[in-house]
Structure 1
Amino acid sequence: MTTPTLLFFAMLLDGIFGEPRWLWSRLPHPAVLMGRAVDTLEHRLNAGENRLFKGCVTLVVLILGAALLGWALSLLGAVVEILIAAILLAQHSLVDHVRAVASGLRMSLPEGRRAVAMIVSRDTAQMDAPAIARSAIESGAENLGDGVIAPAFWFLIGGLPGLLIYKIVNTADSMIGYRTPRHEQFGKAAARMDDLLNWIPARLTALLIAIPGNAMNQWREIAADARLHRSPNAGWPEAAMARAIDVALAGPRAYDGVMQPFAWVNGLGARDIGPPAIDAAITRLWQAWALTLATTAILSLLS
């Protein structure tokens, strides 16, 4: 099978069935194993002098290990490649988590806060309903990029090795790519590599959201809003989602008890939002997934 064909079936498998909970209740998920690898190297190397260099060495070891593992697994045949790719894509589980916030919010404000706390790192204890809805929508848009579109993109580019390299870099960034005294130097290489690997997929994700959302005529505004984000990439899907469902996203929010004055994205959009806005965002997530699936089908036929 060609790589686009493998990706087509992997996306279809993930989109229909999602995560097999019965399996991961018995075995460690590949993402957990990746996290353990990062954690082991971090504890052994992140000490003393030259932490920037040690972080670079850690990143190289992780990338080479992921590439070698991906190459070895690809030798086992198409079925194995499809299964592993499907496991490392996250469309179904992403939608499940975002939908859970809408369901919780329909039950009560505390249930909405509980559900959104599962998917965001910001303070949730004092959130009102619009803040909960914004958080869920922002998380859904951003994670569509790094949980679905970016893995699919790198699988198309580099097969299973490309997918595993992306996932290990993304895992490393999520664990050590922070500007803290312990990780600022050691995790810098992982953070910059994650930015690089997500540069094209983030903008593709924005396109995939904007096209079915009839927001392409606002692309200049999307680009302007995206540049307001702290991340060079995460702002693109968020800005596209804001325009595609006509809501205001981002804005001030609290981390560790400190209110951060973040700029509004699509500030003229609706701010008093709730579960219906989350439902609209979920529709856009599925539309972006379907557009990606159709693209892989076309590439499969062409190849």
Structure 2
Amino acid sequence: MYFDIALIAYITDRIFGEFTFIRHPVVLMGDFITAFEKRFYRDTIVRGFWLVFWLLAAVLALVTPISLIGNPWILGIIASTGIAGKMLYTSVSNVLNDPQSIRYLVSRDTENLSESDINKAAIETYAENLSDGVIAPLFYLLVFGLVGLFLYKAINTLDSMVGYRNDKYEKFGKASARLDDVLNYIPSRITAVLIVTLFGKLGKLRQTWRYGALHESPNAGYPIAAMAFSLDLSLGGVTSYFGKMKEKPYFGKGRREISDGDVRRALALQWKLDTLVIIVLAAGVIV
């Protein structure tokens, strides 16, 4: 296991966040996806499969030689670009000062959201992206090294760009969406366990599992339900996407009116998570 590289990557991300002087690897992946789609798009499963194949082949060809570098510091700094912990925390925190910035974080319609709805969206995206942006990348880095990390990021980026169930991407994005579901199965559940544990609500784990399974995504509901039960809130509910109201289940049994203070309580998880992750990774390095 790559404890040393993971430790350096996690700490580097927490201190420096995104390196703005370079073109981010995820942006480069997005450029590849956009270019492929413009030239080869056809709403078929086969064409979507080839998009996945060629992006993963390109990532593998580029990252494998880099992964052979023997210096864990260099590898750790490179790997930090695949972890989005500081950016996630900062982005959700900014919603408290600029509620309209929520439109940059979620895919739901944001024009007519109430203050409570904005706060709910902030907490939901924080919980869900703790899995996608922090725990999952760290998991694949720790188990499979730099190659595993960036292959995961490629699939996650594919899902975020084409993995939608709509007229354009129903078939073209199916391979991307299914692969993302598979890769996030374990990390999403690890994230849920971490949330209830760090909030001292381990007794809510069974309810978290039951409510998490209500989400249409096989993974997203678990960290959201974990956050809801940890904060004694009800998240989810009817939400507008692309001008259409969507009936979503509620996650949790608590209060439905969400305040700024609830967002701050959710964000208070970060220092506990940082402490736990650094201790576990450091112990792995020492052992």
Return the TM-score normalized by structure 2: 0.95
2:258 maps to what in 1? 273
Deviations 1:36-64 (Å, cap 9, x if unpaired)? 1112222333238xx21222222122222
2:38 maps to what in 1? 43
Distance 1:249 1:231, change over 3 A: same
- Matched to 1:68, the amino acid is A
Task: Measure, in 1, the Cα distance between the counterparts of 2:237 and 2:245.
Answer: 10
Task: Measure, in 1, the Cα distance between the counterparts of 2:82 and 2:195.
Answer: 21
Task: Measure, in 2, the Cα distance between the counterparts of 1:194 and 1:286.
Answer: 28
Within the candidate set 81, 85, 91, 2:79 is matched to 85
Residue 244 (structure 1) aligned with residue 264 (structure 2): no
3-state DSSP of counterpart to 2:104? coil
Residue 301 (structure 1) aligned with residue 282 (structure 2): no
Residue 258 (structure 1) aligned with residue 238 (structure 2): no
Q: Which stretches in structure 2 are left out of the alignment for 5+ residues?
A: none
Task: Measure, in 1, the Cα distance between the counterparts of 2:184 and 2:274.
Answer: 17
- Is the Cα–Cα contact under 8 Å of residues 102 and 274 in structure 1 kept in the other structure? no
2:26 maps to what in 1? 31
Task: Measure, in 2, the Cα distance between the counterparts of 1:277 and 1:73.
Answer: 42
Aligned alpha-carbon RMSD (Å): 1.5
1:160 maps to what in 2? 146
Greater Cα shift, 36-45 or 203-212: 36-45
2:64 maps to what in 1? 71
Return the TM-score normalized by structure 1: 0.90
1:107 maps to what in 2? none
Within the candidate set 33, 45, 59, 1:52 is matched to 45
Deviations 1:128-164 (Å, cap 9, x if unpaired)? 1111111000000011100010000000111110001
- Is the Cα–Cα contact under 8 Å of residues 8 and 73 in structure 2 kept in the other structure? no
2:201 maps to what in 1? 215
2:6 maps to what in 1? 7
Once the two structures are TM-superposed, the CA of residue 85 in structure 1 deviates from its matched residue by 1.1
Task: Measure, in 1, the Cα distance between the counterparts of 2:7 and 2:179.
Answer: 27
- Is the Cα–Cα contact under 8 Å of residues 4 and 72 in structure 2 kept in the other structure? no
Within the candidate set 102, 113, 117, 1:127 is matched to 113
Percentage of matched positions with identical amino acids: 36
- Is the Cα–Cα contact under 8 Å of residues 85 and 134 in structure 2 kept in the other structure? yes
Deviations 1:186-229 (Å, cap 9, x if unpaired)? 21111100000100000011111111111211111101111111
- Is the Cα–Cα contact under 8 Å of residues 209 and 222 in structure 2 kept in the other structure? yes
Task: Measure, in 2, the Cα distance between the counterparts of 1:88 and 1:227.
Answer: 28
Task: Measure, in 2, the Cα distance between the counterparts of 1:57 and 1:153.
Answer: 26
- Matched to 1:185, the amino acid is K
| Number of residue equivalences | 286
3-state DSSP of counterpart to 1:254? strand
3-state DSSP of counterpart to 2:155? helix
